């Protein structure tokens, strides 16, 4: 079966994190086309399964919308009314069947692209000031001399500092057709006058492998943030490189990975699973949408200790990988129960330029577990699932997770695993309550911590450039005075000072600030290396991957 894109979960995150899937046409497709285009140039074709009911529904909607457009007391936007009607109709089906209007398709598709046209900068927005975190290596911005800490005053002669623009809008201003130029006015510490640059846009790599490095002489760490078009190639190259450096055991980090293209995920899983064992299968309405995917190549790492990190943000294609590795006893899973997005969508291009992503099947792990968690008539209840997990204690205590006995399955070696939605890890690690505390979250979401780190980097740039990362990591510490200064800046940005909360989250905050500084001074690998010190899930995973006796016991070997 062709491998389009599995939709990711609706978790209340920004639109860029709602996602994708595959699979099938039916009567409602025709209805959606009719709603969007009415009688335009797309002839109505009723469903072969239920032609009379489909035709009646189509004609009813056409007639009502025509009356509204012609006779309603006020002027109406019939396109938006049709979009709303389609969205409400699809919501009655399941949480992941969606209609994407033509105006939103580019933004929606961008998440799964492995490159884009732009100038290549990572930036922070704090107190309505856009500040460069880092220019992407080799990109036009770096070649033009843009530096971490530069404040962007205007883009294309449009004032952006103090203009109350969103991160999304700022990104749109930076991107544009390859070869076109964009003018920027920058303010840099130590310079009396602003810098005026004209930067030619080019193709920028949008990597989905966020980090890949050796933790020690034998242990590798690879973080995959999503399954985009080039994810498998990026992953394979990173894995081969680490193998050359001496990797014999691996931690694969799929936390927060919302999914993406299924075939990229199954090819990644195939690197770990030997022989011709099953990776995933789908079951839909009729055999046309049923499929089975098996391992088929000699993988790069079919032997050797493997630990996979998952959490409540791991969804869809990420759950396919985790479920297959667990069912075949190939890896130890560490973390918390995954999201539970096991509905398969097929993207269907519509004649108005929009796209219907229609659920046509369900994902099942090799042992037969359904990945999809239950959903009913209430879309709101489904959306509150993660909040309910917190309320019920599931994110902090493994015993709070309840499984139905009739949904018991067994792995290749006879270990008991459960279906019913999501993948439960072998080793439970409670969520770090400090990392999700109200005060720490405010410091991070307001951009305060990153802004403080950027200012520190700029003020101490020369000294930092004189240190190797290993020296910095071994000796650098955030002081109490710096935390007090940070709290004062946060108060000015609307995060009210809370001395008790600051004391509680101080170790985590020191680590995060240090990681941000390392990111600007030494790059992304340095950032993840520093964060490792205060990452309880990763620390547990590193312990598990290095304990061969525990590995064998957990995997039933």
Query: What is d(CA 230, CA 113) in angstroms, rounded to the nearest whole number?
Result: 8
Rounded Cα distance between 42 and 55, Å, is 14
Rg (CA), the chain: 25
Is 327 designated active site?
yes
How far is the C-alpha of 125 from the C-alpha of 244, rounded, in Å? Answer: 40
Specify which residues 418 forms β-bridges with: 408
Of the candidates 18, 223, 341, 514, the residue annotated as catalytic is 341
Output the six-digit token pair for 195.
Answer: 């810098």
**Is residue 208 flagged as an active site residue?**
no
Answer yes or no: 92 catalytic.
Answer: no
Strand partners, 284: 361
Distance CA 3, CA 5 (A): 7
> Which one is catalytic: 316, 367, 370, 520?
316
Token pair in block for residue 395: 């994110």
Q: Across the strands, what pairs with 333?
A: 308
The answer to whether 285 and 24 have CB atoms below 8 angstroms apart is: yes
Given 3-state DSSP classes, what are the helix, strand and coil percentages for the chain, each rounded to the nearest 5? Answer: 40, 20, 40
Residues 299/272, Cβ–Cβ less than 8 Å: yes
Residues 6+ apart with CB under 8 A from 231: 114, 208, 209, 224, 260, 261, 264, 265, 268
- Residue 376 CB: number of other CB atoms within 10 A? 8
Residues listed for the chain: 557
Active site residue: 10, 83, 311, 327, which one?
A: 327
Quote the CA–CA distance of 258 and 351 in Å, as a whole number.
28
| Rounded distance between C-alpha atoms, residue 351 and residue 369, angstroms | 37
Cβ atoms of residues 326 and 333 within 8 Å: yes
Catalogue the active-site residues.
Answer: 316, 327, 341
């Amino acid at each position: 079966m062709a491998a389009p894109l599995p939709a990711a979960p609706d978790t209340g995150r920004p639109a860029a994190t709602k996602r994708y899937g595959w699979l099938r046409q039916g009567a409602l497709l025709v209805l959606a086309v009719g709603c969007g285009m009415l009688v335009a140039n797309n002839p109505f074709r009723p469903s072969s399964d239920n032609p009379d009911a489909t035709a009646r529904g189509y004609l009813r909607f056409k007639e009502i919308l025509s009356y509204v457009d012609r006779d309603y007391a006020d002027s109406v936007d019939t396109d938006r009314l049709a979009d709303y009607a389609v969205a409400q109709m699809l919501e009655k089906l399941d949480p992941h069947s969606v209609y994407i209007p033509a105006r939103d398709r580019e933004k929606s598709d961008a998440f799964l692209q492995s490159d884009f046209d732009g100038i290549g900068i990572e930036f922070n927005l704090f107190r309505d000031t856009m500040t460069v975190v880092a220019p992407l290596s080799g990109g036009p911005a770096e070649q033009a001399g843009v530096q971490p800490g530069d404040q962007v005053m205007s883009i294309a002669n449009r004032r952006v500092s103090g203009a109350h623009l969103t991160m999304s809008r700022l990104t749109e201003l930076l991107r544009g057709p390859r070869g076109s130029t964009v003018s920027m006015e920058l303010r840099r510490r130590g310079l009396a006058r602003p810098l005026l640059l004209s930067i030619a846009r080019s193709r920028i790599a949008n990597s989905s492998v966020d980090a890949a490095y050796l933790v020690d002489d034998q242990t590798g760490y690879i973080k995959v943030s999503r399954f985009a078009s080039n994810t498998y190639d990026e992953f394979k190259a990173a894995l081969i490189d680490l193998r050359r450096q001496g990797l014999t055991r691996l931690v694969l980090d799929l936390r927060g990975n919302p999914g993406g293209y299924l075939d990229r995920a199954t090819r990644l899983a195939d690197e770990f699973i030997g022989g011709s064992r099953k990776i995933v299968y789908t079951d839909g309405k009729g055999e046309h949408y049923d499929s089975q995917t098996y391992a088929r190549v000699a993988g790069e790492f079919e032997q050797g200790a493997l630990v996979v990190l998952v959490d409540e943000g791991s969804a869809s294609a990420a759950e396919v990988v985790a479920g297959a590795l667990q069912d075949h006893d190939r890896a130890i899973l560490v973390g918390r129960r995954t999201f539970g997005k096991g509905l398969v969508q097929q993207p269907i291009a519509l004649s108005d330029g929009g796209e219907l992503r229609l659920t046509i099947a369900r994902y099942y792990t090799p042992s037969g577990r359904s990945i999809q968690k239950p959903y009913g008539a209430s879309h709101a209840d489904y959306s509150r699932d993660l909040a309910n997990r917190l309320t019920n204690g599931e994110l902090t205590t493994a015993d709070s997770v309840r499984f139905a006995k009739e949904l018991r399955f067994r792995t290749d070696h006879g270990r008991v695993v459960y279906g019913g939605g999501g993948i439960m890890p072998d080793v439970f690690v409670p969520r770090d309550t400090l990392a999700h505390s109200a005060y720490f979250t405010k410091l991070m979401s307001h951009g305060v911590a990153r802004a403080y780190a950027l200012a520190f980097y700029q003020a101490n740039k020369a000294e930092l450039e004189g240190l190797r990362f290993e020296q910095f990591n071994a000796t650098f510490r955030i002081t109490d005075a710096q935390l007090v200064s940070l709290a004062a800046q946060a108060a000015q940005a609307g995060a009210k000072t809370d001395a008790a909360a600051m004391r509680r989250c101080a170790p985590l905050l020191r680590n995060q600030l240090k990681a941000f500084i390392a990111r600007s001074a030494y790059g992304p690998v340095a950032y993840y290396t520093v964060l490792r010190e205060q990452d309880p899930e990763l620390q547990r995973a590193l312990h598990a991957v290095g304990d061969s006796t525990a590995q064998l016991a957990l995997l039933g070997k």
